[in-house]
Structure 1
């Protein structure tokens, strides 16, 4: 049950259930974390490897 997780109430559980089509939309938990915006990407380029990690621009930031 989703509401067993600390900080997840009925509204959040309902939202996650609807958005993920009863958790069938994503193959693994990492994909769900990226969609929710809680997992960050490390930003690296050839010239500046020490920038802060950012969320993906397509993440759901609501």
Structure 2
């Protein structure tokens, strides 16, 4: 069965998302709650984001 790229691209949880963007847990949570990371979705009690979309968001923001 071929692997789906979307499944491999997901980051689960505020901590791992913060690790990717170089922010603390608290900073990342605040960014999610205030809408500064609009590509993060809540699934149950956890947040999930696409690694590719987060990287693209920050690269676009830096340009």
TM-score, length of structure 2 as denominator length:
0.36
More strand by share: 2
More helix by share: 2
Which of structures 1 and 2 has the bigger CA Rg? Answer: 1
